[in-house]
Structure 1
Amino acid sequence: MSVPTVLVLPLPAQGHVNPMMIFSQRLAENGCNVIFVNTEFIHKKVLSSMGNQEGGGVNGESPIKLVSIPDGLGPDADRNNLWEVSDSLMKNMPAMLEKLIEDLRLKDGIIVSCVVADSAMAGALKIASKIGIKGVVFYPASAAMLALQCSIPKLIDDGIINSNGLPNTQKTFQLSASFPHMDTGSIWWAKGVDSVLGNVMFNNIVHAMQTLELTEWWLCNSTPDLEPQALSYVPKLLPIGPLLRRYDDNQGVTERSLGQFLEEDLSCINWLDQQPHTSVIYVAFGSLTHFDKKQFTEVALGLELTNRPFLWVVRQDSNCNPHEFKGNQGKIVKWASQQKVLSHPAIACFVSHCGWNSTIEGLSNGVPFLCWPCFGDQFFNKTYICDELKVGLGFDLDENELISREEIKVKVDKVLSDENIRSNAHVLKEKMLNNIKDGGRSRENLNKNYNTDQIIGQDGCCSNCASFTMPCSRTCQPNDDLVSKIG
């Protein structure tokens, strides 16, 4: 059997590139060559963060080859505006991708066996289907959010949202009797955006969901015990998480960091080595969150009030200067190796925006959360962390719609003194990591043959079926492993 070549296509955002790059590394370990496709703007960022070392190619030392395509925007466009970039890619990516696949074949002799597309780039599946290439969809957020998207017709029929995807009223609802409660604030495409942008996002989601039916393989960065209800609700979705860089008990995270947009400041690890165990507050709000001056000041002064050491990630594109606040108790970096940080014994808690990658990384390291969601799916993730998993606390806004310095101190003290939260976090860590050990469910989904009972949901429908709602009417046969399937 020839070595399969997989083309991986993420949305050009840090939270999408990260898990798909780790997934690509796992594919490489399982004998695949990988063509990892970024937009030209993101491709340059990734290479710069690696010290301009691309790391070989399909026919070189590395089985992962980094390539780029244009984003379709003009030279003066704001490429930090993800919505503008996404809209352009929706229109222009299919033709560019088809040309890339053809160029790889004609110029380099590379035959693409399979396309793995980010769900937000699902238009790539149409191209794959058109030219006879197998397709796989990767969903980078929680399984619960995909379940929500799959339920759009039901949400409209039940009067929860209108035909434009916007909530009709403020209410709580369930997708099924066993599903965690949601409220209309969990409808991420309508959260914190104006009606015009919300409608554009909604239409893109509807189009993407229709396109997903072109493939039977749906993958996500989750685990069966983390989201059992959501994975049962969407039985075609196979969990392969937690997607983490390789970890060694003696050396910590050992796998090379690929796919970062900014260079990681490793000086913070040496600084953490000097701090007592479970003493440091780690503060990071991801790659997109911005605070105004008032809220930024409250964060800084709140950390100072705790009288505890803190490690704070403040990106270089922040319009605020944190160094006037840090004093002697904290360290501030522009970007950190988050998995290395979270696995460090000095970390006591994680003040997080609750993006899904950060959620997975925090849960996999048994770190209690202080949840500060800012937009999109982060609000549901916060509710799930605090109310379902019980491994964190949220912040409350004051009369000025700010999270005050006093509130920060109160919640830090509270989460660090709550033994139940810490115990729950440790138990969940073991469950998460068991999924990627030998014999673990997620590892089996990716690496080994798996049989019917491993992929059947609670409703009796397995991932071989095209239907979301009806149980299997036939006896499903065991599937081949993923690498064999795509090859």
Structure 2
Amino acid sequence: MEQHFLVVTYPLQGHINPALHLARRLARVAGARITFSTALSGHRRMFPSSADGEVDDGLICYVPHSDGYDDGFNQDVDDVKAYPLRTRSVGSKTLSAVLRSLEERGRPVTCVIYTLLLSWAAGVAHEHGLPSVLYWIQPATVFAIYYHYYHGYDGLIASHRQDPLFPVNLPGLPPFRICDLPSFLRITSPDDPYVILIEMFQEAFDVLDSEETRSTARVLANTFDELESDVLVATGKIKLIPIGPTVPSALLEGTKDATGTGSTGTDLFKPDEKQYMEWLDSKPEKSVVYVSFGSLAMIKKRQAEEILRGLKESGRPYLWVLRKENRSEVAEVEEEGGMVVEWCSQVRVLSHPAVGCFVTHCGWNSTVESIACGVPTVTTPQWSDQSTNARLVELWGTGVRGELDGEGILEGAELSRCLETVMGEGERGKEIRRRAEMWKEKAREAVGEGGSSDCNLRAFVASLQ
């Protein structure tokens, strides 16, 4: 019987990208049929002319479901506390309808793969008699931290949340401090709107611990054996299967088109029309500083001014992604010596030979893309898993962490210092660049034919036969 995967993901760019890359690899490597489903709010931005209907690009069929927030969650109007219950209730019904429709059309699904914050999708799969698998789109280290938090270490962490430098030693993990843990585990106020995420992550582990899955719980992870080998066995009965890095295949193959979008545009943001690739072509090898804080981050006016100050002080050409919402905070953005765009294809930029450093918020997608491209980083983590990722970057030796001031701002002088450390001719910079190149080769070997991640993905598909 032909394998048919229904890949379900949260309607944010940082969730859609790794889910799509995995979907394409499953289609190409396993010859499987793929249906991709995100909430209507995300589907509409991916395909604005589809009128909420299906889209088929020849490799993947895109079928949306409703999560009860078809125009997206509006924090100014919608009740954040009601969000988990509503998405679970509405999402379960509409995703179930998607499964029934596919069955009726002779395209029965054989396995449901779901990403973070969608643990209810496992219940839908169970009701239809289908296996389900969580696809963890953060590092295995972060999965293990959450695992231990929900399996006996919550008291230790909770009792020291006010002490950012308190050392935390968890089984099978390198030593961390409280400030290195995911930000949701460091929340001290019960009124914090992100408290609901602690509960939503709890639900994910409740599903994995349930009687139905306890002996066979498997999690696909966007990492690779060589990168997190010790951590991959630090989660008890739950088996982590590293199948990453899940980035565009063209990027890993070194071909020119590294967007990975195929014939359909799947970015939720329109790339800036400025000719940034031609601008990069005009710059010397490894000379450009690329600055981007992802699809969610909003930066303060002072932070933007400090970044500009640090870039100018460094004297290096720069390509800076500054979203329209952010740019309105800055009356004038000087572009002397650099280029400022509202959005771009990050993988195309990182794979360009002119790029020598990536100043990043250290989201996991950006982190694995920098690893796959061999680009050293200056990290400025803000929330979620980013502090943990930044600590991992230090441990792997591929970048440095920018120290923030008392207001959480990366000052210009500190940015300039970090850029000199990473891109300068000092011994530390040379070692960082050497290790970045080493991890690039290991990442490409892992997903190449016969590599560890390639074999793991093939074995996973075979186990479903």
Structure 2 length-normalised TM: 0.87
Counterpart residue number, 2:218 = 217
Structure 2: which 5+ residue stretches go unaligned? none
1:145 equivalent to 2:142? Answer: yes
List aligned pairs for 1:71-470, cutoff 5 A.
Answer: 71-73=67-69, 78=74, 88-106=86-104, 108-156=105-153, 159-161=156-158, 167=161, 170=164, 171-176=166-171, 178-185=172-179, 186-191=181-186, 194-196=189-191, 197-213=193-209, 214=213, 216-234=217-235, 236-247=239-250, 248-249=253-254, 251=256, 253=258, 255-256=260-261, 259-265=266-272, 267-318=275-326, 320=328, 324-386=332-394, 388-398=395-405, 400-417=407-424, 418-447=429-458
**CA RMSD, aligned part only?**
2.8
Q: Which amino acid aligns with 2:173?
A: F
Distance change (3 Å), C-alpha of 1:326 and 1:3: farther
**In 1: Cα distance, 2:65 partner to 2:255 partner:** 40
| Deviates further, 371-380 or 234-243 | 234-243
Identity of matched residues, %: 27
Q: Which amino acid aligns with 1:432?
A: A
| Deviates further, 393-402 or 125-134 | 393-402
Distance change (3 Å), C-alpha of 1:51 and 1:319: farther
SS at match of 2:378: strand
SS at match of 2:88: helix
Counterpart residue number, 2:8 = 9
1:206 shift after superposition: 1.3
Asked if 1 retains the 8 angstrom alpha-carbon contact of 2:158 and 2:186, the reply is no
1:364 shift after superposition: 1.1
1:393 shift after superposition: 1.0
Counterpart residue number, 2:58 = 62
**In 1: Cα distance, 2:80 partner to 2:142 partner:** 19
Distance change (3 Å), C-alpha of 1:168 and 1:151: farther
Cα deviation digits, residues 449-473 of structure 1 (max 9, x gap): xxxxxxxxxxxxxxxxxxxxxxxxx
SS at match of 1:160: helix
1:37 shift after superposition: 0.7
| Deviates further, 110-119 or 206-215 | 206-215
Distance change (3 Å), C-alpha of 1:123 and 1:250: closer
Distance change (3 Å), C-alpha of 1:315 and 1:83: farther
Distance change (3 Å), C-alpha of 1:157 and 1:216: closer
**In 1: Cα distance, 2:377 partner to 2:53 partner:** 35
Give the number of the structure with larger relative contact order, counting CA–CA contacts within 8 Å between residues 6 or more apart: 1
**In 2: Cα distance, 1:69 partner to 1:382 partner:** 34
| Deviates further, 149-158 or 266-275 | 149-158
Distance change (3 Å), C-alpha of 1:206 and 1:369: same
**In 2: Cα distance, 1:369 partner to 1:331 partner:** 19
1:327 shift after superposition: 2.7
**In 1: Cα distance, 2:188 partner to 2:371 partner:** 29
Counterpart residue number, 1:477 = none
Asked if 1 retains the 8 angstrom alpha-carbon contact of 2:182 and 2:383, the reply is no
1:75 shift after superposition: 6.1
Paired residues in the alignment total 443
1:263 shift after superposition: 2.2
**In 2: Cα distance, 1:153 partner to 1:307 partner:** 47
Counterpart residue number, 1:453 = none
Structure 1 length-normalised TM: 0.84
1:52 shift after superposition: 9.4
